[in-house]
Amino acid sequence: MARSGDHYTPHSRKDTSTNKASTRKASTNGAPSQGPARTGAHMNTASGTSRQSTPRFTPTGKAGGYAGATQNSPASKNPYLQAQRSNSTAQREHVGFVTADKGFVATKRPITGNKRPKRGITRRDFVMLGGLAAIAAALPIGWNIFRPVEVVINGARRTYTVNTALSDIIAKEKISVTAGNLTSVSGKVLTEGKGYAYSVKVDDKDLSFDDGNKYKIHGGETITIGNGGDIMEEYTTEMVETQPKLTMDGAWGGVTYVSQWGKVEKKELRTGKTSGETADGEVKQEGQDCVLKTRNLQPKDGKKLISITFDDGPSVYTERYLKILKDRGVVATFFNLGENVDSMPELSKKVIDDGHEIMSHTYHHDVLTKDSAERVQSELDSSFESIKKATGVETTMIRPPYGAFTEKTWLVTQGKMSASILWNQDSLDWSRPGVDKIVANAINGIQPGYIILMHDGGGPREQDLEALPQIIDKLHDQGYTFVTITDLMKADGNVPEDIVTGKAKMPEDAVWPTEIG
């Protein structure tokens, strides 16, 4: 077989030989061929002879020609080969070329096909790339999980894998410690060695046994393993309340006020199940006693501040007192009787309107130390209500009549008052000793923070009205300034803020004592 570089669609040799014979026979007889070799052949009718036209081949490989074949090439003389090349289906399925020595040789792509397109990234490629990325990411994680770190255990430097359990280290290091004991609720040893196995301190922090047992090292810690602590026996509990008591802080002074309100203490009482012992347990609410502070007021920085006060009003004299005070630019504190306020409410209102201060002198001027608890509380409540009704002012401060007020009296007030205001300088005007005596009693030996006692009711007050201007002028000459009681407390700086308001009430979470401490 002649060598040919042309492509063709292969068939079996048997078929090829048969077709070739048929082709040659058809050509010799001049009859129309029944095979594909007739493609491209025609009859010259003019001469009466038939001839084979030179086949033309196109790059498409369609019937009528084949690219690259010449008239004299073996392929051009092989009508069967031409016909086979015209079969496009065969070209797509079986493509190759024929050589003289090797026969048919298949090619990698069809003669008429385009170059194979470049393959994109497939799903398989993505999976492979993802796996490689995961491996790369896992490398530092794995190092972090299994990296070695140093710690100091009971003074010795050791290297372990990070996150090693401290309990494993204790076992490996064979640290010798003594376990704690089982104790009763009162602290007596019931069974030795039945407490916690060891104690743990990491850097400066003591850990509970459970936290220490679960602890995993991070690196760089200083760990101290010590003897175990004791474990208390199981116990039952009941809540016990301790009521506050009334205590006094100070023996004498111009004022007495509540410096601390009382609170109930609530704590557990434990009863051991093994020992049967009882002992105080956890405090659930801190308790505190009610504390009364008695002292003289002392303005900060040595300021020369004083208060002048008037008892038993309002009365027919009160308005004249107000004029003297106004003329000299002085403020004062008036301790009014509730019954007088009810009978002359307009005067009490004028006291407030003129810039002065009103507090209670009880309702009936009782000796409170001789009254029952109910009567004391009534005297306070009634006077407070009368003042509020007449003036709109709320107060919880009083001046007890005759200055009679003891711890027992405080105890029965049930927390209805916040302060008892007495005096440091008594003018003794109630005894009507004369104007000069009243003036002398009011100013002799006076000091900053002192409280002067006078009256605007309770009897004839002509001597007071004549003495008052002299008292004010002389004390002004000495550099003193008159202020109200609450302002004097504020200037002292040591009186609780709620008391300074003049209307402090017992807080809702506080409890008034029932006994003296």
Give the start-to-end residue ranges of the domains of the chain.
148-232, 295-516
Spatial distance between the Cα atoms of 289 and 479, rounded to a whole number of angstroms: 41
* CATH of range 295-516; options 3.90.1170.50, 3.40.109.10, 1.10.10.10, 3.20.20.370: 3.20.20.370
* Torsion angle (degrees, nearest 10) of CA 481, 487, 493, 498: 170
Token reading at 133: 């990325």
What is the per-residue DSSP string for 182-202?
EE-TTS-EEETT-S-SEEEEE
Phi/psi zone of residue 390: left (φ > 0), alpha (ψ -120 to 50 degrees), beta?
alpha
State both tokens at 321.
């007192």
Q: Name the token pair of 92.
A: 């797509």
Residue at 3: amino acid letter: R
Give residue 434's pLDDT. Answer: 98
Q: How far apart, in whole angstroms, are the C-alpha atoms of residue 260 and residue 246?
A: 10
Q: What is the mean pLDDT of each run of 10 residues along the chain (517 residues)?
A: 43 44 41 41 40 43 42 51 47 53 57 55 72 62 74 94 92 92 97 96 95 92 96 97 97 96 97 97 96 98 97 98 99 99 98 99 98 98 99 98 97 98 98 98 98 98 98 99 99 98 97 97
Q: What is the pTM of this model?
A: 0.63
Annotated active-site positions, please? Answer: 311, 455
β 231-232/182-183 pair status? parallel
Report the amino acid identity of residue 417: M
- Cβ-count burial of 515 within 10 angstroms (0-12 exposed, 13-18 middle, 19+ buried)? exposed
Confidence (pLDDT) at 57: 41
- The predicted structure's pLDDT at residue 202: 96
Cβ-proximal residues to 451 (8 Å cutoff; 6+ apart), any chain:
254, 255, 297, 306, 307, 308, 309, 421, 422, 423, 424, 425, 485, 488
130 contacts 140 by C-beta, under 8 angstroms: no
What number does CATH give the domain 148-232? 3.10.20.30
Q: Distance (Å, rounded) from C-alpha 197 to C-alpha 175?
A: 11
At 37 the pLDDT is 41
Max alpha carbon distance in the chain (Å)? 180
What's the CA gap between 273 and 251, in Å, rounded?
49
446 Rama class: left (phi>0) / alpha (psi -120 to 50) / beta: beta
